[in-house]
Structure 1
């Protein structure tokens, strides 16, 4: 199951205003899949626009419906937003569809059982593992669940003609009262009663806890009538540009309001000429539906009416329908872009009468000093609970036990920055570039960073929560379990990161795996083009492969002498994970011609294998025979994995826990001076291998024995700083 990894708002029922979290959805095994592109866009604060699929399944004939859906996605992309077409496939909600899935919904001749899904149909459709096209109401629900703030469609459902007697009212109106999404449409469907629909929405606005703002998009406040720009009904509000519309959504978000907004965009003027004749056909089709009994057949009514209107207008209504859909997709994309920009802007906390003006920090007045080392990634508050010695470890995982709780500064990037700061004489040479929340934990991080004499001008305040890692360790300091809330780092905008890097132009940029693949990719591309060395800290087994998309992107455009990544510091498990995933689809990096070209230059032969077997027989530590020897280098394939990754990562610092550190390096002819230094090291040390390759290529493999440690507080933070500190010192 794929679930978006930040907390997400659920649509709120009228009587029960509970909010679901991702943990709740995951615990319940919710049948909801978010497409990787959408998940990445949401995680990195890119604008996203939801699109429905009822127009695909029940609105247009095949293949017009399929082509139109692709066109709408392209229009959304043209604005800088990411389209999220929503539907149900085989009983699973899909936030974002592949082309094959979209065609499956579109071709009803091959898939006649596909259903039209409103709120009432969601559970039955999923339970029966059917395919479904989501109506406006269902799309609103799923967009809100995913955290999507803008939804573009054709026409909103409303009060059907005669609804004052039949009480036939679309679920779309109810969903707008409980889903915080901006709905961009061309008004309500032309087959409905526009006046009573607006009256219904207005009546909701009189209630304290419900209400939907209805605004027109343009200079006029006259509500559009779907095929025509004029309905004769006025609304209280209008906006005439994407920014103004986005401000409405942003204000409701700031105030924590749960309802949506209806943004009514009139059909483009060039398509209004035929609007009157189309409306006459609409009226005729409605009369016919009442006469033949179709008007009483529930959700079959709308598809029948639309088909009949196409017949009566000779297809003209179809062209107008396409035009208004494309128009709302364009406007929706533009609004989403402006909304996301507003979210990225720094905010000022709400003030109270007792608030006093604060003196500006002196850092604004300090002269700018460029940093030589920039470290990008996570800063966090670590809350560590440790059981007392003698506690039953089995009991500790199921109940409370006596112990201690400590709060310290953490986060992979922050730990690296502190370690570097402690060993480098100039305090201004190290810049920690990390997002923090505008909250108590964020202020604590900022204050403590300054108190250590570290730079704080790279701490970027955002609207999200400061990262917190809550860990539970046993009496010996070994991690038992924990929860890491690091969504703010994954959402760190690459634009902000690159702005700081361009300003400082550091000699080396280190970054951790908490960043999104998109931000990592931007950092790698910038550093490679500027000749800046990079250092990747994998962070965890799961996040260690976040570097692979960037490596894949650079392979076809790299200098064989310079790997895409300069340094990386995986542990043994992370090394194995990177190696395994790199060999598999969709990356298959070791089938790339550039990898073969570099490996061929390495020319590792019998002498290297002999030296490696000799090294494997060495004791891990001459002072502690209980640690055994270095046979794991061969038996577990550590040396082989490291060497095969060197075309992608020039130098690997492999953390082996209590077995020490393995360094694997690739030196080309341009590194001749450094290579000579390592050859001298090889002559002095029996723990170093230097293999001679072709055209000046050299491979270095060296083991550094573990240093004796008297006390380990915990094993989670101690590994972040050591390789980076060693790198600074060499």
Structure 2
């Protein structure tokens, strides 16, 4: 758990970003960090401008019993993640306010529900519970809406999803019983999304009080037309019209953006009606509430005891119907909050770029109707120079992807039903074929970046589009996915946005593909040096992935820069024609293609045909006869009898007969790790082991280490060869699309490697990710987010 201001200098820009304006400049950060801690995940998300959703904890400590509460807490966090956000569950543990609870902390808090030292925490209680910790008294606490808003704002979180808002109690004109939630909304700029307020409260007076506090109140139309009722928690109608109506999450995000930009110090309240199928009819719940209030009055339950008493009675009188309604509405609210936060992140990114900002991050995949207007003024045939100044400081990224961004068209052959002719699964040449045509945003670089992002890595993409209809569509889609566009150059005519057309048979297997990636070929090595390489050095990535859509000189410039930055460099060959660009030297470089340990690409992921193309190119260029190549091959310790028998055991006789592992071994001096994608046969891993590689002495790795260095070479250790068969092979009916499957594999693979895992330990996971994309209409399946815990 990161402290709010750990290792930050006084008055630094970083500290001002970490701490809300509520903390004045004279306030000591070393003191505040004793009371407020923000999790690493939430802090990284806030720094990267990803959508974050605050979640309260009173519902767990004073609503649901253990272990039902921990199950609900885990479920609501999953709802946020599935919808593209980062959950920030907020509570008090041992007298410290926590923004973003780990699973262990969540269990610690939820399991303390009902204990004497577990309190309900509003604004007024924060100083009490945090201060007494210094006196040796440690309290846990679930934060109310007011308490959660305060801590969310201190952390910099703008959107908060919860169940129901507190309000003005009936008879408040004499009791002054008004929830602190309402006052908090008047002074803390956080947007709260809930199902209105509970209908045993005085809803008209609640809305009047919010108006007095300067709080903007709106209700989601939820498909309805005209004026709509402000919802009453368990029912969609209250009999009181909402002050404003909000059509969708995009409108909600626009309102929040304007509120924050002005800036106004008050919050916003957006009411989200309970899902229709879970609602309790108004006449039914009104009768139950009247009886619950009567019993509360008779029992003398007032003040802070009033709401819990009434809720308990409503549960009893409704025969338990209020409980599933509670669950349904809070899940709906949290889902809507995540989508609003998503749209807000997109809007802020688009606005920042339009005004010269530079938000270097990728945020979760989303769908949106936001339009994108590319910046004007790009000179024809040239790249935009990077703006200068302190706002352009580039944050660190785990992975940088340099490659193609394209509009993909998938043409799936669809034989006409009822034909008397024999069933043919392949389209016919020189005629029109019935098909199902779809288009998505793709490109090898984009797909790899998206897959790595879905697996939880921080990723940035560098590419180019044309100033044309396809380019504008691509940029709009990027914005809707939450991927920042500052690394995408816009090039004027005659440059065209890259497009890829795949023609597949009836089983969705690729028959023919056409790719127009000329826009990347127009970019020179000098262009990327001027435009992007300074970013690369500042970002200090753990991995740089480059696809072969660049020209050879530009490809080599990317790889050399990645090596210089200390990143693992990965090469995606793209096609048989473009794979050979790795071995085509730049015209202004006289030296031969460098070999291990000075190689350019640490890793490559060819398919069978691309591997053959790489091997053929190396043969034609006579790369297998250079002294440097022979030095490495001799050091591998391959016996004079060869490795045919050993390779047949560790892979398969069929692969050996095709010569695939032999070709891979011969290429190892140029690419020390090669993962050959074999389709339904799996993945063939071939590695050149360094002299000190622990696999050389590992019993687990021993069956796959086929030779060891015997000549004392200080760099070379041996050869590792292993076949990874797929855990599950899909039948023809299960495959939805093959586009992006190889890219998904590489993105998922590198996301895991960048976390320090061994490559052989994550190949099965990368294959699992590829299977998800095979079963998805998207080039990269959003279901990859469910694999993050395994990465």
| TM-score of the two chains, using structure 1 as the length reference | 0.52
Identify the residue that residue 237 of structure 1 maps to in structure 2.
244
Q: How far apart are residue 235 of structure 1 and its match?
A: 2.8
Identify the residue that residue 620 of structure 2 maps to in structure 1.
none
Identify the residue that residue 714 of structure 2 maps to in structure 1.
691
1:92 aligned residue (82, 92, 96): 96
How has the CA–CA distance of structure 1 residues 83 and 527 changed in structure 2, closer, same or farther, with 3 Å as cutoff? farther
TM alignment of 1:433-472, pairs within 5 A? none
**Contact between 2:61 and 2:114, CA under 8 Å: does it hold in 1?**
no
1:32 aligned residue (27, 32, 36): 36
Matched residues in 1 for 2:343 and 2:181: separation? Answer: 25
Counterpart secondary structure, 2:16: coil
Identify the residue that residue 618 of structure 1 maps to in structure 2.
none
Matched residues in 1 for 2:203 and 2:342: separation? Answer: 30
Counterpart secondary structure, 1:344: helix
How has the CA–CA distance of structure 1 residues 62 and 213 changed in structure 2, closer, same or farther, with 3 Å as cutoff? same
Q: How far apart are residue 269 of structure 1 and its match?
A: 1.0
Identify the residue that residue 49 of structure 1 maps to in structure 2.
53
1:113 aligned residue (99, 117, 134): 117
**Contact between 2:688 and 2:716, CA under 8 Å: does it hold in 1?**
no
Counterpart secondary structure, 1:7: helix
Matched residues in 1 for 2:375 and 2:169: separation? Answer: 60
1:367 aligns with 2:372: no
> Mind listing any 5+ residue stretches in structure 1 that lack a counterpart?
13-17, 205-210, 351-359, 383-408, 414-456, 459-492, 552-560, 569-598, 605-645, 649-665, 670-688, 698-730
- 1:32-76 deviations in whole A, cap 9, x for unaligned? 111111111111111111110000100112222211111111111
Q: How far apart are residue 215 of structure 1 and its match?
A: 0.7
Identify the residue that residue 335 of structure 2 maps to in structure 1.
330
Matched residues in 1 for 2:544 and 2:54: separation? Answer: 31
**Contact between 1:510 and 1:534, CA under 8 Å: does it hold in 2?**
no
Identify the residue that residue 201 of structure 2 maps to in structure 1.
192
2:321 aligned residue (302, 316, 332): 316
How has the CA–CA distance of structure 1 residues 222 and 31 changed in structure 2, closer, same or farther, with 3 Å as cutoff? same
How has the CA–CA distance of structure 1 residues 104 and 527 changed in structure 2, closer, same or farther, with 3 Å as cutoff? farther
**Contact between 2:349 and 2:484, CA under 8 Å: does it hold in 1?**
no
Matched residues in 2 for 1:74 and 1:134: separation? Answer: 20
Matched residues in 1 for 2:113 and 2:307: separation? Answer: 19
Matched residues in 2 for 1:188 and 1:157: separation? Answer: 6
Identify the residue that residue 187 of structure 2 maps to in structure 1.
178
Identify the residue that residue 473 of structure 2 maps to in structure 1.
none
Matched residues in 1 for 2:598 and 2:315: separation? Answer: 56
Identify the residue that residue 343 of structure 1 maps to in structure 2.
348
1:224 aligned residue (223, 231, 234): 231
Counterpart secondary structure, 1:236: coil
**Contact between 2:51 and 2:84, CA under 8 Å: does it hold in 1?**
yes
1:533 aligns with 2:553: no
Counterpart secondary structure, 1:59: coil
**Contact between 1:7 and 1:22, CA under 8 Å: does it hold in 2?**
no
Q: How far apart are residue 165 of structure 1 and its match?
A: 0.7
Matched residues in 2 for 1:26 and 1:284: separation? Answer: 52
Identify the residue that residue 203 of structure 1 maps to in structure 2.
212
2:488 aligned residue (495, 499, 511): 499
TM alignment of 1:290-689, pairs within 5 A? 290-295=297-302, 298-346=303-351, 364-368=378-382, 380=389, 495-496=484-485, 499-500=488-489, 504=520, 510=533, 520=541, 524-525=544-545, 532-533=558-559, 535=561
- 1:602-640 deviations in whole A, cap 9, x for unaligned? 999xxxxxxxxxxxxxxxxxxxxxxxxxxxxxxxxxxxx
Identify the residue that residue 404 of structure 1 maps to in structure 2.
none
Identify the residue that residue 654 of structure 1 maps to in structure 2.
none
| TM-score of the two chains, using structure 2 as the length reference | 0.49
1:247 aligned residue (254, 263, 266): 254
How has the CA–CA distance of structure 1 residues 603 and 40 changed in structure 2, closer, same or farther, with 3 Å as cutoff? farther
Identify the residue that residue 80 of structure 1 maps to in structure 2.
84
- 1:365-393 deviations in whole A, cap 9, x for unaligned? 33136x9xx9x9x95459xxxxxxxxxxx
Matched residues in 2 for 1:238 and 1:504: separation? Answer: 46
Counterpart secondary structure, 1:156: coil
Q: How far apart are residue 693 of structure 1 and its match?
A: 2.7
How has the CA–CA distance of structure 1 residues 86 and 411 changed in structure 2, closer, same or farther, with 3 Å as cutoff? closer
- 1:78-136 deviations in whole A, cap 9, x for unaligned? 22111111111111111111112112222236844211000111111112331110000
Q: How far apart are residue 11 of structure 1 and its match?
A: 7.6
Q: How far apart are residue 24 of structure 1 and its match?
A: 4.5
How has the CA–CA distance of structure 1 residues 21 and 189 changed in structure 2, closer, same or farther, with 3 Å as cutoff? farther
Matched residues in 2 for 1:564 and 1:170: separation? Answer: 68
Matched residues in 1 for 2:24 and 2:547: separation? Answer: 40
Query: How many correspondences in the alignment?
Result: 442
**Contact between 2:121 and 2:142, CA under 8 Å: does it hold in 1?**
yes
- 1:571-617 deviations in whole A, cap 9, x for unaligned? xxxxxxxxxxxxxxxxxxxxxxxxxxxx9x9999xxxxxxxxxxxxx
How has the CA–CA distance of structure 1 residues 109 and 223 changed in structure 2, closer, same or farther, with 3 Å as cutoff? closer
**Contact between 1:217 and 1:264, CA under 8 Å: does it hold in 2?**
yes
Counterpart secondary structure, 2:714: strand
Matched residues in 1 for 2:40 and 2:549: separation? Answer: 27
1:65 aligns with 2:79: no
Q: CA RMSD in A?
A: 4.6
Q: How far apart are residue 196 of structure 1 and its match?
A: 1.1
Matched residues in 1 for 2:564 and 2:149: separation? Answer: 37
Q: How far apart are residue 212 of structure 1 and its match?
A: 0.5
**Contact between 2:688 and 2:717, CA under 8 Å: does it hold in 1?**
no
How has the CA–CA distance of structure 1 residues 268 and 193 changed in structure 2, closer, same or farther, with 3 Å as cutoff? same
- 1:287-327 deviations in whole A, cap 9, x for unaligned? 211111122xx323323322222222221101101111011
- 1:262-281 deviations in whole A, cap 9, x for unaligned? 10111111122455433422
How has the CA–CA distance of structure 1 residues 538 and 41 changed in structure 2, closer, same or farther, with 3 Å as cutoff? farther
**Contact between 2:17 and 2:47, CA under 8 Å: does it hold in 1?**
no
**Contact between 1:513 and 1:538, CA under 8 Å: does it hold in 2?**
no
1:143 aligned residue (121, 142, 152): 152
Matched residues in 1 for 2:563 and 2:341: separation? Answer: 34
Counterpart secondary structure, 2:380: coil
How has the CA–CA distance of structure 1 residues 566 and 7 changed in structure 2, closer, same or farther, with 3 Å as cutoff? farther
**Contact between 1:11 and 1:145, CA under 8 Å: does it hold in 2?**
yes
Matched residues in 2 for 1:300 and 1:216: separation? Answer: 29
Matched residues in 2 for 1:141 and 1:528: separation? Answer: 50
Q: How far apart are residue 363 of structure 1 and its match?
A: 5.7
Q: How far apart are residue 526 of structure 1 and its match?
A: 5.2
Matched residues in 2 for 1:512 and 1:602: separation? Answer: 38
1:126 aligned residue (130, 138, 145): 130
> Mind listing any 5+ residue stretches in structure 2 that lack a counterpart?
6-13, 357-373, 397-463, 466-481, 491-497, 499-518, 571-594, 603-631, 638-670, 674-686, 691-711, 721-791
Matched residues in 2 for 1:293 and 1:41: separation? Answer: 47
**Contact between 1:215 and 1:221, CA under 8 Å: does it hold in 2?**
no
